[in-house]
């Protein structure tokens, strides 16, 4: 049945759905379920491009090198509200050197240098630190209840990534503020004020990091910033602009999605009722519940790609060079052709897989770290507070395509 807040024409596969519609913000899966039955590919008029929500399509298109993150026109982000981008010089400067926005061979060089700190064996060494940090945060919870987002979900990943990079943990709130202002550039319906605020944040963030890079060049440590300064791949070091962009990307990506996923996962687990500790009886069980949380309620629902040539992206859908497509990760994770009863939360499901970290050459470099943080923090939280319960109904932020809660107030 078609939800009343959307209009879909099956003949043209055109969809009208305001991404700020509250019914959709609070539960996008109702619309996804309808679209899975109607068409996994559709032209989303509110965005102005073709979108794909089938698991196989999204997985295939993420890996198709004829699509990429780098705008053929040369502007990293062309979704501005006007042609003039002179007020976005600082923001564009960071994006121009971000591995998330680049393609080979530059992407390959940057990713190879940065990836050394994020391989699973390196990340595994952080497990005791993450556990100690989680316990320390829980120790500070107010006895009459707490909002888990600012008290637990947010400080844990920003502390870990700040410590990894070697920047002051005390700067955490400022780093978060800069990050939130920059990430707002990717929201639907942004304004000139949003753009100017993001540019100021990009400039201040960059200036802060350049100061730390200068210090680390004089006095290297064993942190990631020092590693990136010293790292060489076939004699090629990161330039200072690449170094700053990489650090900002790691700081932003190192917490933004993990915060949303932590909140979404706690909400999902509490909604199952009963003793939450039953999901964390062994390392394998903990891994399984985290993977199902990633599938069930992902923190990122849309990822964009540019076409580099004329491509038939799906039967009857031709995309021209320079045009964008939307890949709907949250919808793909609920595809009934890929999952038995996709709306059911089943940590032990035999068909466990997800696209929440993407796929292909842009697969999330921080996935091992995010998985470890989720495994440790969720297990610690529910073992310490087995009577954890929502103190008020959690609501999602109006921020599609980032899918996360406004607050998660709990009692215990």
The pLDDT of residue 79 is above 50 = no
Distance CA 203, CA 198 (A): 9
**Please, what is the average pLDDT of the chain?**
90
Q: Give mean pLDDT, residues 132-148.
A: 96
The answer to whether residue 99 is domain-embedded is yes
Least confident of 103-112, 152-161, 164-173, 214-223: 103-112
Q: Which has more pLDDT, 254 or 186? A: 186
* Paired residues of 318 in beta bridges: 312
What beta strand segments (E) does 202-261 contain?
Answer: none
Would you list the DSSP string of 146-194? EEHIIIIITHHHHHHHHHHHT--GGGHHHHHHHHHHHHGGGSTT--HHH
The pLDDT of residue 65 is above 80 = yes
Packing angle of the helix pair 155-165, 240-253 (nearest 10 deg) = 160
The pLDDT of residue 268 is above 90 = yes
How do residues 354-391 score in pLDDT, each as one tens digit?
999 999 888 888 899 999 999 999 999 999 999 999 99
pLDDT of residue 353: 97
The answer to whether residue 207 is domain-embedded is yes
| CATH code: domain of residue 320 | 1.10.630.10
Distance CA 3, CA 45 (A): 17
The answer to whether residue 1 is domain-embedded is no
Share of the chain above pLDDT 90, in %: 63
* Paired residues of 7 in beta bridges: 16
How do residues 144-185 score in pLDDT, each as one tens digit?
999 999 999 999 999 998 898 888 899 888 988 998 888 888
Work out the pLDDT band at 401, boundaries 50, 70, 90: confident
The pLDDT of residue 262 is above 70 = yes
Q: Give mean pLDDT, residues 231-252.
A: 77
pLDDT of residue 80: 46
The pLDDT of residue 75 is above 50 = no
The answer to whether residue 299 is domain-embedded is yes
Q: Are the CB atoms for 114 and 246 separated by under 8 Å?
A: yes
Residue 269 makes CB contacts below 8 A (sequence gap 6+) with 276, 279, 289, 293, 378, 382
Range of the domain at 401: 7-411
Number of structural domains in the chain? 1
Closest CA to 379 of 305, 304, 293, 316: 293
The answer to whether residue 2 is domain-embedded is no
């Amino acid at each position: 049945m078609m939800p009343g807040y959307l209009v879909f024409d099956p003949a043209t596969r055109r969809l009208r759905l305001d991404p700020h519609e509250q019914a959709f913000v609070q539960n996008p899966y109702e619309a996804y379920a309808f679209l899975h039955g109607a068409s996994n590919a559709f032209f989303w008029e509110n965005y102005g491009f073709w979108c794909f929500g089938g698991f196989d399509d999204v997985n295939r298109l993420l890996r198709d090198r004829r699509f990429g993150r780098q705008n053929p026109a040369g502007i990293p982000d062309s979704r501005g509200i006007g042609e003039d981008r002179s007020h976005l010089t600082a923001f564009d400067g960071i994006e121009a050197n971000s591995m998330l926005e680049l393609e080979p061979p530059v992407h390959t060089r940057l990713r190879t240098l940065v990836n050394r700190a994020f391989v699973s064996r390196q990340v595994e060494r952080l497990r005791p630190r993450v556990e100690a940090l989680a316990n320390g945060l829980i120790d500070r919870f107010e006895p009459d209840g707490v909002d888990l987002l600012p008290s637990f979900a947010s400080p844990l990943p920003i502390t870990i990534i700040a410590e990894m990079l070697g920047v002051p943990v005390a700067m955490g709130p400022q780093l978060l503020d800069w990050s939130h202002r920059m990430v707002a550039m990717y929201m639907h319906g942004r304004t000139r004020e949003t753009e100017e605020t993001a540019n100021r944040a990009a400039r201040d963030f960059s200036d802060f990091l350049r100061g730390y890079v200068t210090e680390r060049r004089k006095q290297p440590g064993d942190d990631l910033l020092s590693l990136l300064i010293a790292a060489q791949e076939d004699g090629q070091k990161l330039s200072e602009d690449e170094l700053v962009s990489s650090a900002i990307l790691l700081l932003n990506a190192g917490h933004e999605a993990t915060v949303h996923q932590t909140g979404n996962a706690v909400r999902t687990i509490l909604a199952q009722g009963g003793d939450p500790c039953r999901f964390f009886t062994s390392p394998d069980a903990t891994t399984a519940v985290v993977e199902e949380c990633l599938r069930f309620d992902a923190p990122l629902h849309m990822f964009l790609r540019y076409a580099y040539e004329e491509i038939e992206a799906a039967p009857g859908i031709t995309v021209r060079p320079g045009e964008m497509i939307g890949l709907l990760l949250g919808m793909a994770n609920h595809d009934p052709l890929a999952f038995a009863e996709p709306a059911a939360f089943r940590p032990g499901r035999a068909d466990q897989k997800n696209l929440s970290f993407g796929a292909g050459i842009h697969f999330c470099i921080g996935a091992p770290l995010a998985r470890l943080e989720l495994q440790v923090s969720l297990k610690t939280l529910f073992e310490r507070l087995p009577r954890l319960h929502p103190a008020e109904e959690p609501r999602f932020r109006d921020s599609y395509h980032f899918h996360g809660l406004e607050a998660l107030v709990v009692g215990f």
